[in-house]
Chain A
Amino acid sequence: MNDFALIGPILAAMFAAATPLLFAALGELVVEKSGVLNLGVEGMMLVGAVCGFAVTIQTGSAVTGFLVAALAGAATASLFAVLTLFLLANQVATGLALTLFGVGLSALIGQGFVGIPLEGLPKLYIPGLTDLPVVGQALFGQDIMVYLAVAAVPLVHLFLYRTRAGLVLRAVGENHTAAHALGYKVLRIRFLAVLFGGAMAGLGGAFLSMDYTPMWAENMTSGRGWIALALVVFATWKPVRAMLGAWLFGGVTILQLHVQGLGIDVPSQLLSMLPYLATVLVLVLISRDVARIRLNAPACLGKLFHPDA
């Protein structure tokens, strides 16, 4: 009886836990589809998290906070873009450096904000619907950012597969030499994609610090940026699959918290590993189809491009 009553809150918490991943993964998906591998997601999320938090504290406006978080993420990403796209730095090394940079920078900015509580975003309440048993809270009782993240999935999908701009972006990621020969501005398209990825990572980070656990702590993303990166690959660069992966991660995160709460005699460190393990395992299993990977993986991923070469 007790267990049954738990399902509703667990479901609701699952969607919230999945939201930061979903933002970051969707952003990175677009970046990778354009042929750029930005491993700095974790760093961009942290910068977004601390900037969003700080601005919300100062101004009292969560909207401003999220806007600034997106801008801060994009600004961090632009550093990566200039280094890799225009100065031809290695993308893997630069991405790793960007993460380290983001960890340090966010800690510096956040020094004066540790331990200050913040009120999360208001939750939706629709009389009747939100009160529905089991699914009411999960479907009709979330805050605006959770819905925005889910809405971004079909939007990204439509952009990539139904618009000309999306087609050009995929073409650039597939064969930058041919795209250049046809007259497309490879570097400009990639630059914009990287900025979008940064903004989305910033939003994901800000959701953590302003809403999910409304406070700032150093390194509070605790590896979610890396999971977002893994999600993109295992989702074979498909937005809907990335969403399912994010939900899975969110679901296992919440479940293991409840299991820890029940006091079952398993080391908590093992349980904390579970969401990461389960997500990777399940995604590996469903992405074994070689043809699907071949069809969706951007062939120029991580390759440097120079227009005159």
Chain B
Amino acid sequence: MPSHAETFPPDAPPPRLELRGITKRFPGCLANDHVDLVLQPGEIHALLGENGAGKSTLVKMIYGVLHPDSGTMLWQGVETIVPDPAGARRLGIGMVFQHFSLFDTLTVTENIALGLDDAGRMDELADRIRSVSERYGLALDPERHVFHLSVGERQRVEIVRCLLQDPKLLIMDEPTSVLTPQEAAKLFETLRVLAAEGCTILYISHKLEEIRALCSRATVLRAGKVVGATDPRQETARSLAEMMMGAELSTPERPPQGAAGAARLSVRHLSTTSDNPFATNLKDVSFEVRAGEILGIAGVAGNGQAELMAALSGEMLVADADSVVIEGASAGHLGPRARRSLGLAFVPEERLGRGAVPELSLSENALLSGYAREPLVRGGMVHFGRARAYAETIIRGFNVVAHGHRAEARSLSGGNLQKFIIGREILQKPKLLVVGQPTWGVDAGAAAAIHKALIGLARSGAAVLVISQDLDELFVLSDRISVLFHGRLSDSRPTHETTVERIGLLMGGLFGTPPDEDGEITRAV
């Protein structure tokens, strides 16, 4: 399809997309306030801003999900109104959503067909998916149902869906948050190829180093307004973060670790078997987390993280009670409540639905896990006054931005809800805290606060286990790092003795699997 740009003289091509004075108001908040944005053909343009700065609203208007109250939009020099997402796709605008717009019970092919206007026959589409996913190194099985896929694999579905549309403008909302550094590097190659082919990429990410490496322009939003535009290659991650926040960024300090204390959590030869044929079974996983330290477990989603989290929290009981030992007590046969009373606190990866009940207020959510270790319930009766006070303590202590303790959990932004959940667990003074993906989709300011809280907890004598795909985060937090791959756990290495590249290679499976090659693992790290 010839692009309209080609009809213009080459010395004065119109911008691919130009926004002039776009304004969008929601009840009680001005989401976008006279936003101007110019995207040139073939550029990779970063859109920066904290959670709630109005980035999502802006890109939803570009993609036709929302409509601006005022302002104009010029597509390749022509004033255009994008009526709906189908209209956006007809123009050549593709979008990878932050909260995946996937359908769990449908297959990969069916999901992709739903995002295409000319899907054609299913078997031909499956072949196209295979060839695109191979070309860009995004491994995908078109026949699988989405609910079997890991978060990382789901994102690949979104990306492949967009690539199949041959877009002229590709909007990517946090695309690398679940990829290994190597996978991200591969994606960047893909994006650079696409940009070189003339496709404009509007790139939203909290990973500022990535933006510096990838993007040639950056527009910064704060509270719905454009507060700056810059060439991110000329900035530091710190200066970018401060532009976003409009304040100085405090990086978490990691005071040196004291003498490692007693083992708070011992996992010995933990193996799981699941009825779900697509689950990743854990194979002979052993590790210890000691008082005062943070152990980080790296790995790409779908390598057994969900199973390990479930086996530790008590959501899934394990065959051998002695394979999970909390504070010296065999806990493999205990449910979540019994484990909490042993001193375990737990922050699951899914904030809404596991970490918090979306429809309940913050004080009710505080009660849900807080009652096990705080005096919030007496004789079966809820002490609402105390639950409220407890929620307010969390909100104040962790700077949660919310309309008080009555706010529904789902009304909070991801970062604020995560601060609330982590605060709820930390204030219970746990002896052992297990956290999954603590800062997934959380902006830099909130992430720094969460990291600081986790380090503070460990230094006060608790044992902390962080399971994350974000290597930068693990390197900031952990005293030791292990890698989970295909259900097996590598030996841990002290963080200061290893590098992101080496851990990245382990995440790709470059360590010996049979136990007798353990020496090999050590050398590889």
Q: Give the interface of A toward B (CB within 8 A).
A: 164, 167-168, 170-171, 174-175, 177-184, 290-291, 294-299
Contact = CB atoms under 8 A, between A and B. Distances in A.
Given A174-B105, A291-B276, 8 more contacts: A168-B114, A170-B105, A171-B106, A171-B114, A175-B101, A183-B84, A183-B87, A297-B105
A178 B113 CA distance: 14
A97 to B, nearest CB: 24
A119 B86 CA distance: 53
Interface in B89-129: 89, 97, 100-106, 110, 113-115, 119
Given A174-B105, A175-B101, A181-B97, A164 B64 contact: no
B353 to A, nearest CB: 12
Among A170, A175, A290, the most chain B Cβ lie within 10 Å of the Cβ of A175
Among B87, B105, B145, the most chain A Cβ lie within 10 Å of the Cβ of B105
Contact of B104 (A168, A174, A181, A291): A174
B276 A174 contact: no
A167 B119 CA distance: 12
Given A168-B114, A183-B86, A299 B104 contact: yes
A152 B390 CA distance: 58
B103 A171 contact: yes
A294 B278 CA distance: 14
- A-B interface, 7 closest residue pairs, ranked by CB to CB distance from nearest: A183-B85, A178-B101, A183-B86, A174-B103, A183-B84, A181-B101, A171-B103
B145 A167 contact: no
Contact of A295 (B89, B101, B105, B113): B105
B147 interface: yes
B85 A175 contact: no
B105 A182 contact: no
Contact of B106 (A174, A184, A290): A174
Contacts of B106: 167, 170-171, 174
Contacts of A290: 275
A115 B119 CA distance: 56
Given A164-B113, A167-B114, A175 B64 contact: no
A183 B105 contact: no
Nearest to B86: A183
A213 to B, nearest CB: 40
B324 to A, nearest CB: 24
Nearest to B101: A178
B110 A167 contact: yes
- Sort chain B's interface into a size bin: 20 to 34
18 contacts: A164-B119, A170-B103, A170-B105, A171-B106, A171-B110, A174-B103, A174-B105, A175-B101, A178-B101, A179-B103, A179-B114, A181-B65, A182-B85, A294-B105, A295-B105, A295-B145, A296-B105, A298-B105
Among B103, B147, B276, the most chain A Cβ lie within 10 Å of the Cβ of B103
Contact of B64 (A171, A177, A178, A183): A183
Contacts, number: 60
Contacts of B147: 294-295
Contacts of A291: 275-276
Contacts of B103: 170-171, 174-175, 178-179
Interface string B38-59: 0000000000000000000000
Contacts of B100: 178
B381 to A, nearest CB: 30
Interface of B: 64-65, 84-89, 97, 100-106, 110, 113-115, 119, 145, 147, 275-276
A121 to B, nearest CB: 39
Nearest to A291: B276
A299 B105 contact: yes
A174 B427 CA distance: 38
Contacts of B64: 183
Contacts of B84: 183
B102 A175 contact: yes
A206 B119 CA distance: 40
Contacts of B65: 180-181
Contacts of B88: 183
Among B97, B114, B147, the most chain A Cβ lie within 10 Å of the Cβ of B114
A257 B211 CA distance: 75
Contacts of A175: 101-104
A181 B88 CA distance: 11
Among B89, B97, B106, B276, the most chain A Cβ lie within 10 Å of the Cβ of B106
Contacts of A299: 104-105
Contacts of B89: 183
Nearest to A289: B275
A184 B101 CA distance: 12
Nearest to A174: B103
B110 A182 contact: no
B113 A181 contact: no
Contacts of A294: 105, 147
Contacts of A182: 85-86, 101, 114-115
Nearest to A299: B104
A298 B105 CA distance: 8
Contacts of A184: 114
Nearest to A307: B65
A123 B64 CA distance: 56
B299 to A, nearest CB: 25
A268 B423 CA distance: 64
A168 B115 CA distance: 10
Nearest to A162: B122
Contacts of A167: 106, 110, 113-114
A178 B97 CA distance: 10
Given A167-B114, A171-B114, A183-B84, A178 B102 contact: yes
Contacts of B114: 167-168, 171, 179, 182, 184
A167 to B, nearest CB: 6
A297 B106 CA distance: 11
A182 B87 CA distance: 10
A268 B97 CA distance: 60
Contacts of A181: 65, 85, 97, 101
Contacts of B110: 167, 171
A299 B106 CA distance: 11
B61 to A, nearest CB: 13
B346 to A, nearest CB: 24
A294 B106 CA distance: 11
Nearest to B119: A164
A167 B88 CA distance: 21
A25 to B, nearest CB: 20
A254 to B, nearest CB: 36
Nearest to A177: B101
Nearest to B100: A178
Contacts of B113: 164, 167
A170 B113 CA distance: 13
Contacts of B115: 182
A183 B88 CA distance: 10
B29 to A, nearest CB: 15
A253 B146 CA distance: 41
